[in-house]
């Protein structure tokens, strides 16, 4: 399938839908769709990854025509002018149209519905069958390589608090269960969302964005989760000052936020996902 198709992005149940006619470039990994710069499409794809592509050809003579309906997930990639695969994609643009002003939507097809005459097919693609669970996607994006810090930091803080003689130590234990995971996940989530934005501007390879770069999580939701994690961690951390005076220091140390933030900032400039020249 190639040529002009109809792209629908968003979640109709929430009233967030945008529809646009666009050209398509097929690829074995995903579909690339050329769309004119649109603030609405960019806004919707920051909040959801749902997408649908439809195409139809009317019968011509002995050719019965066809109807194709592809459902899956999508993200708004870099503008075509700075896209890392622009040399492969340019030939698929309509004749007489330049790259300026076009952005590229990457779509992974998870379900296919195809009708051609009397024949009909409906089923999941390999991408749909191998789709990770939502909890797996969030865990991988939030913790990734930093999960050992969680395994080390949480027991360290809880063990120390358990040995204190404060009569209400159950409360700081509960707060610690919130502070440490939130402050370990927060910087990683922030890094993933910023790495995705850097890739969209053509300054970074997609690996740093993790699952966001495969439309497995919406970038706006990940950034929102990063902010929420930091705020929840702070709100849970402040009451610890009313208990043993050394508990806040132990919990702060065990959260490793003093380590994960410098690492996240360093990785943005020099680490994982740095674009090769």
- For CATH 2.30.110.10, list the domain ranges present in the chain: 3-129
- What pLDDT is stored for residue 274 in this prediction? 45
- What pLDDT is stored for residue 62 in this prediction? 66
- What pLDDT is stored for residue 191 in this prediction? 95
Residue ranges, the chain, pLDDT below 70: 1-3, 58-59, 61-62, 166-167, 271-277
Nearest to 105 by CA among 38, 203, 174: 38
- What pLDDT is stored for residue 277 in this prediction? 33
Q: Which CATH class for the 3-129 domain?
A: mainly beta
**pTM (predicted TM-score):** 0.88
Given a contact cutoff of 8 angstroms between Cβ atoms, the answer to whether 221 and 206 are in contact is no
Angle between the 247-255 and 257-270 helix axes, to the nearest 10 degrees?
A: 30
* Separation of alpha carbons 24 and 19, rounded Å: 14
Nearest to 127 by CA among 223, 27, 44, 14: 27
* Separation of alpha carbons 254 and 256, rounded Å: 5
Residue found under tokens 């395994």 = 151
Residue found under tokens 């709100």 = 235
Give 147-178 pLDDT, tens digit per residue.
Answer: 999 999 999 999 988 887 766 778 899 999 99
DSSP state, residue 276: P
- What pLDDT is stored for residue 3 in this prediction? 64
């Amino acid at each position: 399938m190639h040529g002009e198709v109809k792209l629908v992005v968003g979640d109709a149940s929430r009233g967030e839908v945008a529809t646009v006619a666009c050209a398509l470039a097929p690829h074995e990994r995903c579909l690339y769709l050329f769309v004119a710069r649109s603030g609405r499409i960019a806004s919707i794809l920051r909040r959801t990854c749902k997408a649908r592509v439809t195409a139809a050809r009317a019968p011509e003579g002995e050719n019965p025509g066809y109807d194709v309906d592809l459902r899956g997930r999508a993200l708004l990639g870099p503008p075509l002018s700075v896209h890392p695969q622009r040399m492969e994609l340019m030939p698929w643009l309509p004749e007489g149209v330049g790259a300026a002003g076009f952005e590229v939507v990457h779509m992974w097809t998870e379900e296919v519905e195809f009708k051609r005459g009397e024949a009909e097919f409906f089923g999941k693609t390999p991408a749909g069958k191998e789709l990770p669970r939502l909890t797996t996607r969030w865990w991988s994006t939030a913790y990734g390589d930093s999960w050992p810090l969680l395994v080390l930091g949480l027991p360290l803080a809880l063990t120390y608090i358990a040995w204190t003689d404060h009569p209400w130590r159950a409360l700081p234990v509960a707060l610690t269960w919130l502070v440490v995971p939130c402050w370990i996940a927060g910087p990683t989530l922030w890094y993933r969302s910023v790495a995705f934005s850097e890739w969209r501007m053509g300054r970074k390879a997609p690996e740093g964005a993790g699952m966001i770069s495969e439309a497995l999580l919406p970038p706006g939701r990940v950034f929102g989760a990063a902010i929420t994690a930091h705020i929840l961690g702070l709100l849970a951390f402040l009451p610890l000052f009313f208990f043993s005076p050394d508990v806040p220091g132990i919990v702060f140390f065990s959260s490793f936020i003093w380590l994960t933030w410098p690492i996240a900032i360093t990785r943005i400039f020099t680490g994982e996902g740095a674009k090769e020249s």
